[in-house]
Amino acid sequence: MAEALARITEISGLGMIQIRAVLSETGPDIAQALGIPIPERTGTSLAGARRLCWMSPDELLLVLPRDQVAPALAALAASLAGRHALVLDVSDMRVGFLVQGPSAGQVLAKLTPANLSAMPQDGMLRSRAAQVACAIWRQDEGFAIIGFRSVADYLRALLVNAASAGTSLDPR
Amino acid sequence: MLTLTCPCCGITADETELHPGGEAHLKRVGPGSSAEAFETYLFARSNPKGVHFERWRHAYGCGKWFLAARCTATLEVFGTYLAQNAAPPPEILAAIRARRPDWTPTAIAPRDPEPAERPNE
Amino acid sequence: MTDAGPFRLAAGGRLIDRAYPLSFRFDDRELRGVRGDTLASALLANGQLVMGRSFKYHRPRGPLAAGVEEPNALLGLGEGAYFEPNQRATTTRLVAGMVATSQNCWPGLGFDLGAVNGWLSRFLPAGFYYKTFIHPRPFWKHLFEPLIRRSAGLGKAPTEGDGDRYEQAYDHVDLVVVGGGVAGLAAALDQARQGKSVTVLEQAPHWGGRTPTDHPDGQARIDGLLRDLKALPNVRLRRNCMATGLYDHGYLIAREGLADHEPSAGLPRQRLWRIRAGHVVTATGALERPLSFAGNDVPGVMLASAVRDYIVDYGVAPGRRILVVTNNDDAYRSALAALDAGLEVAAVVDARMNPTGALVETLKRRGVRILPASAIAGIRGGHRIEAVKLCSYVGAGRVFETLAVDCVAMSGGWSPVVHLWSHCGGKLNWDQQGAMFIPDPARPPTGADGAAMVTPVGAAAGDLLVAKATGAAAEQALMPVWVMPMNASRGMKAKMWLDFQNDVKLSDVELAAQEGYESVEHTKRYTTLGMATDQGKVSNINGLAALSAALKQPIPQTGTTTFRPPYTPLTFGTIAAEARGDLFQPLRKTPLHGWHEARGAHWEPVGHWRRPYCYPQPGESHAEAVAREVRAVRGGVGTLDASTLGKIIVKGPDAGRFLDMIYTGMMSTLPVGKCRYGLICNENGFLIDDGVAARLAEDTWLVHTTTGGAERIHAHLEDWLQCEWWDWQVWTANVTEQWAQIAVVGSQARNLLERLGGMDLSSDALPFMGWAEGTIAGIPARVYRISFSGELSFEIAVPAGRGLELWERLHEAGADLGVTAYGTEAMHVMRAEKGFIMIGDETDGTVIPQDLGLGWAISRKKPDYIGKRAQDRSFMAAPERWQLVGLESTDGRVLPDGAYAVAPGVNGNGQRNMQGRVTSTYLSPTLDRPIAMGLVLRGPERMGEILEFPGDGAVSYRARIVDPVFYDKEGVRTHG
């Protein structure tokens, strides 16, 4: 029997910070505080181990190593003091999985109605994976997918099932 | 199974990623309004066969509400626009007129809650 | 060769490989076919012509077709968990070891007692059931329905769960070409060369459609197209992939067979494709129509195209001596194929006056007898044709000759496959010349942009020859023949089958017309024409031609019935795809889920969450566990996993003003550090959620919602913020899952928490309805002193990842205090003892806060809040409403949940009038007696009255209206 379509691994040590702000006004301050540019619409921007994701016109999600959360929160608090902005540590709220391998896209194509092939190289897609909300971006020769903590087991099982050996979507 | 393009994030989303919100451009009336005006606000919906304005939320995407102008008979989408518009913007009206020259916006434009001015009755 | 069956031809069969014999079982026979066979071709090769019994009359039936349109050869396939009924033998690829069983016959396929229905057929006309089984009414359920259920029907439903796996996949592509025949491949190549991404879907396991079978150089033409297509990177070619339906905005559903009837392959059996197509080209070909002559359903009568498919594609002789009957040139190809295979062609019976043309001349040259202006008057034979009676086409059927044959190849012309075109609104035109409906290019199905989303090509567009791609020579026009002979008697028409699967005959449609049916849709339902699993693929056009003739109106005036997906039946497993078993739906688990599971928690589903209902100990019933948990909390201390409660941050300069609109009460005046209970209504005034809000900072609130309300209320907030008050400066964030929340409840709660250390939780530092931030057991925590039980209670929120740590520390430190984990039912009982309402119990979407005695939580000072205007509506403000009261059972029996209180008199339907209902009811372990709450007409004014609640049967309950607070009315316990 052939191998699984992709390797599914849970990302450990993930930290996340949710930012809600009027980006046209506070964007430069956020970028400066974090040392990372504000991403384009539906895009992500990278700086070292940090990834800043565009979630909506007034929402960003900073994905970073767990041990960098506290200083990042402090930097944001300092630069946004007195501004109308919401900054929250949401590191415990979501889980992330890496879906890696040449057929990683096929695994996700079984789960999301979104058009992954149309996603730019540095893009991020918010959609659903089967019955739960998710966000997807490209990472490490494959994709990263995040979802809510309560459905981590469901999301993992979905991914593993979709990656079952012998179920390539290539024409037969 | 519609597809609609969210004007907030530019993503063309599948109907299963969206949450419907009923008719657009309803004007809220609150305390002090007449029983008739409040009844209209709560319950009167135009439900046309043809051009219609609707509220949708990109629920599995950016989470934003937006408005869509589409034909309920053919499902043609004339355009989507931001939820903060009190009435369909000119470019949406132009797109509708280009495809439906006989359409009369007065029949469907934001309705005054006072029944005397409700053209559908 | 004998291995492959007595009817296997010595040579030929372009789709089979004789080097690989496959054994299979049909009923009790062990048979052999070869690789590449369909089940039908293998059965035919073995001389097994009869493959099923008809639906109504149980007539023996052989295959009519060789493809998806087959109405007769439906079999049960597989065994046990892999059994599936009603599978078409003509499209089922033969697999080694396959087990097939015949259907709808008893005791066996050869001799079926139900065939007695056939002898009675003149007593079973159209609408028979409607007419016969109406009266007397009681007979229906106990006599008629069981009788009909036994005698009618096709395969039996499987009795086990489906053992196969299925999956689904999404795709996005510029162009989907449905149909891998010559027209589809040519269209795909043309479009792909223009740079579009193109996917070609072919229902069969092989490419080319009819072209390789029908044209001498057909295979070479197909091979050439495939070679060119495979060289293009933007083309994907999928075989075994049936496009079953086309929906709005180019949404195409297709079913790909991966391991059909091969459970040992270790693969999902089928995959459901959900494709968003920019445009769809339908190259779906055409289906041949039967001719309506007496006895056209006798085994051995087949479509002419099927006869040559079995010969050319599978090397199988459908018969040894074949007669062709036709109204067009194409059927002559079948005679030619039979001759080339060494079979005898008794004659070609052509209804046309003067058949000419290349195919006709070729046959004449090869010595085949051609009978123009002729027809079939009848068939002799039961389980297989023995002879054919011939007559003139013009006339009433006087027999001029009888020919001994064992196979009839019939062709009444072709109908383009217009299903996908029509599924989404494409309209059809009647083509007089070809006597067929073809897509009207002026009225296509349209997509999101209002432009055509489907383009039909080739035979599907009415170009039956596809001469441009096949090089076929022109043919003489067909002559429409809807009944054969022209002036057939009523008796003959009663033997002319239109719908083979549902046993609908020409006489049935005529009877329907005679009885006044004019609409084709009504006639369809009255006669059941086209309502079988084949959806009338071979019967519909003949049926509506018959209806038109009976109504004396042209066919287009009659119109067609509605084409509905799926094109061929789709198994439920494929539609469900991965969503079964563990993946049926997401189960939401709290950070403490594993602990509960390890303690044997009995679960309560709350939305997608699983919450512990109670933690039964060995030998303990659920009720006993709940009682133990309640007593432990009331008597000491307990812990509840409250993590599922919704937690929404609301922040901004306008947050207070906004929350004053959201809640019925005043939130803007709440001091920082305090909590307040609040009610949320919709614009209709009805209560939709409740919970405690805490003011975290000058501009920040935390809104607690019910477990089921988190997403709903967050969406509600965002709706009002984005669409109504979009200029207010407020941010919201649903942080429900960031936190584990643990309620520590009971008189020993503070004692227990102080043992863990870290925060001052004294009443002075943290009074009732206050909150504080700090650490507990070294874990950063936010502690809310709020109570849903009436006890001293602390709800402690810690980051989700540390919830289990805190929970375990509590249970270690409190072991000597008897700290007890309690579930949702104990929580419910305790809140009911205190008269606290529960969203979903005391509310049902029609209840306003005023009904629940919650007027105190409504601000009178505020000019507006969501629901305020509605609550002023006359009938909301009227006293004649059902209002919350306590209910005390008069005899110690627990009132049934949901029971209604009856009032004197009856309503217009003769039902007892009602004056209230039970909304919550429990046996209180604390008070050791039943308690209940209910909504009762003017209830609070009627304290002490006794109401009657009829239960099941003669049982009735009586309860006294009392105050809803049953326990600790003074509320002293909250303070510990």
Range with lowest mean pLDDT among A32-41, B78-87, C111-120, C967-976: C111-120
Range with lowest mean pLDDT among C406-415, C521-530, C643-652, C750-759: C521-530
Same domain (yes/no): A72, A105: no
Note whether B83 contacts C: Cβ–Cβ < 8 A: yes
Residues 133-162 of A with CB under 8 A from C: 148-155, 157-158, 161-162
B75–C247 CB contact, under 8 Å: no
Pairwise CA distance, residues C409 & C403, whole Å:
14
Mean pLDDT of chain B: 89
Q: How many CA atoms lie within 13 A of C107 on its CB side?
A: 1
A25: in domain = yes
A152: in domain = yes
A128–B10 CB contact, under 8 Å: no
Q: How many CA atoms lie within 13 A of C694 on its CB side?
A: 21
Q: Which amino acid is at B42?
A: L
Chain C residue numbers touching A114 (CB-CB < 8 A):
170
For residue C35, what are its two tokens? 């690789």
Chain B residue numbers touching A116 (CB-CB < 8 A):
none
Q: How many CB pairs under 8 A join B and C?
A: 69
Q: How many CA atoms lie within 13 A of C891 on its CB side?
A: 9
Residue C402: beta bridge partners? C389
Residue C583 · residue C167 · CB < 8 Å: no
> Which chains sit next to B, with 3 or more Cβ pairs under 8 A?
A, C
Nearest residue to C205 (alpha-carbon basis) of C337, C94, C116: C94
C239–A172 CB contact, under 8 Å: yes
Share of chain C above pLDDT 70, in %: 95
- Report the residue from C578, C653, C731 with minimal CB separation from A86: C731
DSSP character string of C430-452:
EETTTTEEEE-TTS--B-TTSSB
Pairwise CA distance, residues C179 & C187, whole Å:
10
Residue C380 backbone dihedrals phi, psi, to 5 degrees: -105, 135
HEC-encoded secondary structure of chain A: CCCCCCEEEECCCEEEEEEEECHHHHHHHHHHHHCCCCCCCCEEEEECCEEEEEEECCEEEEEEEHHHHHHHHHHHHHHCCCCCEEEEECCCCEEEEEEECCCHHHHHHCCCCCCHHHCCCCEEEEEEECCEEEEEEECCCEEEEEEEHHHHHHHHHHHHHHCCCCCCCCCC
pLDDT tens for C198-224 read 999 999 999 999 999 999 999 999 999
Whole-structure pTM value: 0.94
Pairwise CA distance, residues C818 & C572, whole Å:
51
User: How far is the first Cα of chain C from the last one, in angstroms, to the nearest whole number?
Assistant: 93
A62 to chain C nearest CA, in Å? 15
- Report the residue from C268, C585, C653 with minimal CB separation from A84: C653
Mutate to test the interface with C, among A107, A108, A117, A154 (most CBs of C within 10 A): A154
The residues near A137 (Cβ < 8 Å, ≥ 6 apart) are: A44, A51, A53, A119, A122, A123, A124, A125, A143, A144
- Report the residue from C448, C863, C870 with minimal CB separation from B77: C448
Note whether B55 contacts C: Cβ–Cβ < 8 A: yes
C248–B99 CB contact, under 8 Å: no
Domain end position, chosen among A63, A89, A115: A89
Report CA Rg, chain B: 15
C238–A93 CB contact, under 8 Å: no
Torsion angle (degrees, nearest 10) of CA C894, C900, C906, C910: -100
Chain B residue numbers touching A56 (CB-CB < 8 A):
8-9, 62-64
A149–C582 CB contact, under 8 Å: no
Q: Which amino acid is at C969?
A: K
Same domain (yes/no): A82, A27: yes
Report CA Rg, chain A: 17
Residue B14: beta bridge partners? B3
Domain count for chain A: 2
Same domain (yes/no): A81, A97: no
Note whether A131 contacts C: Cβ–Cβ < 8 A: yes
DSSP character string of B60-97:
TTT--EEEEEEETTT--EEEEEETT-SS--HHHHHHHH
Nearest residue to C532 (alpha-carbon basis) of C508, C571, C504, C558: C504
Pairwise CA distance, residues C829 & A102, whole Å:
55
pLDDT tens for C899-921 read 999 999 999 999 999 999 999 99
Burial of C490 (0-12, 13-18, 19+ CB in 10 A): exposed
Chain C residue numbers touching A132 (CB-CB < 8 A):
586
Strands C638-641 and C820-821: parallel
The pLDDT of residue A45 is above 70? yes
Mean pLDDT of chain C: 94
Report CA Rg, chain C: 37
The pLDDT of residue B38 is above 70? yes
CATH classification at residue A18: 3.30.70.1520
Mean pLDDT for the stretch of residues C503-530:
92
The residues near C120 (Cβ < 8 Å, ≥ 6 apart) are: none
The pLDDT of residue C128 is above 60? yes
CATH classification at residue A104: 3.30.1360.120
The pLDDT of residue B111 is above 90? no
Q: Which residues of B touch A (CB under 8 A)?
A: 8-14, 16-17, 60-64
Pairwise CA distance, residues C67 & C455, whole Å:
24
Q: Tell me how long chain A is.
A: 172
Taking domain B3-117, whether its CATH number is 3.30.2270.10 is answered by yes
Same domain (yes/no): A18, A61: yes
pLDDT of residue C265: 86
Nearest residue to C875 (alpha-carbon basis) of B35, B45, B114: B35
Which has more pLDDT, C190 or B106? C190
Instruction: Locate the domains of chain B by residue range.
Output: 3-117
Q: Which amino acid is at C952?
A: D
Pairwise CA distance, residues A37 & A56, whole Å:
16
pLDDT of residue A138: 97
Note whether B82 contacts C: Cβ–Cβ < 8 A: no
The residues near C559 (Cβ < 8 Å, ≥ 6 apart) are: C520, C544
pLDDT of residue C221: 97
Chain B residue numbers touching A57 (CB-CB < 8 A):
8-9, 62, 64
Domain end position, chosen among A89, A111, A146: A89
The pLDDT of residue C354 is above 50? yes
Domain boundaries, position A118: 7-11+93-162
C738–A154 CB contact, under 8 Å: no
Nearest residue to C416 (alpha-carbon basis) of C429, C405, C406: C429
pLDDT tens for C669-695 read 999 999 999 999 999 999 999 999 999
> Which chains sit next to A, with 3 or more Cβ pairs under 8 A?
B, C
Q: How many CB pairs under 8 A join A and C?
A: 117
Mean pLDDT for the stretch of residues A2-21:
96
Give the chain C residue nearest A171 (alpha carbons): C238
A168: in domain = no
Note whether B16 contacts C: Cβ–Cβ < 8 A: no
Pairwise CA distance, residues C331 & C351, whole Å:
12
Same domain (yes/no): A18, A73: yes
Residue C735 · residue A88 · CB < 8 Å: yes
DSSP character string of C647-678:
EEEEESTTHHHHHHHHBSS--TTPPTTBEEEE
Measured between alpha carbons, how far is residue C819 from residues C624, C628, C873 in Å?
17, 12, 49
Q: Tell me how long chain B is.
A: 121
Note whether A57 contacts C: Cβ–Cβ < 8 A: no
B9–A133 CB contact, under 8 Å: no
Pairwise CA distance, residues A85 & A21, whole Å:
5
Residue C198 · residue C192 · CB < 8 Å: yes
Nearest residue to C62 (alpha-carbon basis) of C30, C45, C40, C84: C40
Domain end position, chosen among A69, A89, A109: A89
Same domain (yes/no): A101, A84: no
The pLDDT of residue B61 is above 90? yes
The pLDDT of residue B119 is above 70? no
CA C216 and chain centroid, separation: 44
Mutate to test the interface with B, among C279, C722, C861, C871 (most CBs of B within 10 A): C722
Give the chain A residue nearest B65 (alpha carbons): A56
Residue C920 · residue C932 · CB < 8 Å: yes
| Domain architecture of chain C: domains with CATH | 2-122 (3.10.20.440), 166-287+416-470 (3.50.50.60), 290-412 (3.50.50.60), 489-553 (1.10.10.1100), 646-736 (3.30.70.1400), 879-975 (2.40.30.110)
Mean pLDDT of chain A: 96
C450–B74 CB contact, under 8 Å: yes
Mean pLDDT for the stretch of residues B51-56:
97
The pLDDT of residue B115 is above 50? no
Residue C258: count other Cβ atoms within 10 Å of its Cβ: 20
Nearest residue to C209 (alpha-carbon basis) of C539, C518, C470: C470
Mutate to test the interface with B, among A126, A132, A148 (most CBs of B within 10 A): A126
pLDDT tens for C134-169 read 666 666 666 666 666 555 567 888 999 999 999 999
Chain A residue numbers touching C578 (CB-CB < 8 A):
110, 130, 158, 161-162
* B112 — pLDDT class (breaks 50, 70, 90): very low
